[in-house]
Structure 1
């Protein structure tokens, strides 16, 4: 299986290299194993949202850098299990909104939406 790096994985790996840290060093900062961090970097596992605060503090990220990491994390959590690389940005945003709103939609609307999408 080909590994598709997520933006968050690439950014995390780049940050680690810039700080001249081994994978295990950053993993310790994040409170996880090196294997888990490696899987996140390679897009195989999701990173917890709490990592943003740790990365921002420990690696002295600017507000802009922190926002970039937050956006990348959000994207990786959404897309790393489903290949949507062929979709436009707008289509990806639509999927993101649907995933976020889906739990709050009533069952009738969900059924209507399913029927509409099945056409």
Structure 2
């Protein structure tokens, strides 16, 4: 498989902390062999691993998000939490439709969707901050 984005970030974190593999493994309560196989993309990254690393190394929210994105990239899938909307058929159907058909999108379509979602995110942030401006 080869070193993944997650493995590269993890290795950089270890080197920046002046730790050898065994030291980091001990801090994360895993074996050195297990940590090495995660770094080298030979083992799937457990869902709880990002949280464990974030707490142990005091990662910022941006660093944690970068690690989460690298984990998702390594898995080839992402989890879409629906929160309170889990009982709404509109939300659920849309999420399932999106996930099911995502692999069929062209690069241009993905770029357009990303821009649209970024706009929605900015609008939501404006509403949360009380500005109401869109």
Q: TM-score range by the shorter chain?
A: 0.5 to 0.7
**Unaligned stretches of 5+ in structure 2?**
78-94, 101-134
Question: Does residue 32 of structure 2 align to residue 28 of structure 1?
Answer: no
Q: Which position in structure 2 is the counterpart of 1:110?
A: none
For the 8 Å contact 1:4–1:42, the answer to whether it is kept is: yes
Q: 1:78: how far off? A: 2.3
Aligned-pair RMSD on alpha carbons?
2.2
Count of residues paired in the alignment:
82
TM-score by length of 2: 0.55
- Find the structure with the greater CA-based Rg: 2
Per-residue deviation, residues 43-75 of structure 1 (Å, max 9, x unmatched): 111121111111111111110000000010111
For structure 1, the residue ranges without an aligned partner over 5 or more in a row are: 80-96, 103-119
Deviation (angstroms), 1:34:
0.3
Equivalents in 2 of 1:60, 1:38: separation in Å? 21
Map of 1:70 onto structure 2: 68
Distance in structure 1 (CA, Å) of the matches to 2:29 and 2:74: 20
Structure with greater contact order relative to length (CA < 8 Å, sep ≥ 6): 1
Runs (4 or more) in structure 1 with deviation over 3 Å come to none
Conservation of the 8 A alpha-carbon contact between 1:29 and 1:54: no
